[in-house]
């Protein structure tokens, strides 16, 4: 390092190789920061892939044994097709053509219901006193890849 004396102050002048060393350290810091972010992103991707694979495998294994834990929420409102009024205490259940286990629930006074069931595509039967039963398709075709979720429905029942 050389010093140059000017009329106002003393200025330090670095040699070329000293300036290059400083620039290389700065570039190395940026390089390490960028690759650290890429590495952490890959680790996050790997972790999410392993979580997804274990969830799908767990769901598939549970279905082989004629079992299954409900992981799909079907919720909604049941109304009368003619008047539009909510249908109180309607029964919502998995259709009997589906292989077990079958799940069921009842709507409340305001026609709202929540049914926990399996995410695979199947039908549910909605029935209420004084109304015709209705078959409704629920579930998703990609349930093996994402074995959970929810679906909201508005169901109208025709009076008898």
pLDDT band at 65 (very low <50, low <70, confident <90, very high): low
Return d(Cα 14, Cα 73) in angstroms, integer. 69
Name, in order, each residue with C-beta under 8 angstroms of 70's C-beta and a sequence gap of 6 or more. 103, 116, 117, 118
Rounded to whole angstroms, how far apart are CA atoms 143 and 76? 20
More confident position, 99 or 151: 151
pTM for this predicted structure: 0.61
What tens digit of pLDDT does each residue of 106-126 get? 999 999 999 999 888 899 999
pLDDT by residue (tens digit) across 15-26?
766 778 888 888
Phi, psi of 65, rounded to the nearest 5 degrees: -85, 25
User: Which pLDDT tens digit goes with each residue over 22-45?
Assistant: 888 889 999 999 999 999 999 999
Q: How confident is the model at residue 10 (pLDDT cuts 50, 70, 90)?
A: low
pLDDT at position 156 over 60: yes
Residue 101 has a pLDDT of: 81
pLDDT of residue 43: 96
């Amino acid at each position: 390092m050389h010093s140059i004396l000017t009329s106002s102050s003393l200025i330090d002048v670095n040699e070329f190789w000293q300036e290059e060393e400083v620039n290389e350290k700065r570039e190395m810091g940026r390089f390490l920061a960028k690759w650290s972010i890429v590495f952490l992103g890959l680790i996050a991707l790997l972790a999410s892939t392993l979580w997804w694979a274990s969830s799908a495998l767990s769901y598939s294994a549970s279905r082989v044994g004629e079992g299954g834990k409900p992981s799909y929420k079907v919720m909604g409102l049941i109304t009368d097709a003619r008047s539009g009024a909510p249908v109180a205490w309607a029964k919502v259940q998995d259709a009997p053509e589906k292989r077990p286990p079958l799940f069921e629930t009842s709507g409340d006074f305001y026609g709202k219901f929540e049914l926990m069931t399996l995410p695979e595509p199947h039908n549910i039967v909605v029935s209420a006193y004084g109304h015709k039963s209705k078959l409704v398709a629920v579930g998703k075709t990609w349930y093996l890849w994402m074995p959970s979720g929810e679906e909201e429905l508005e169901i109208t029942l025709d009076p008898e």
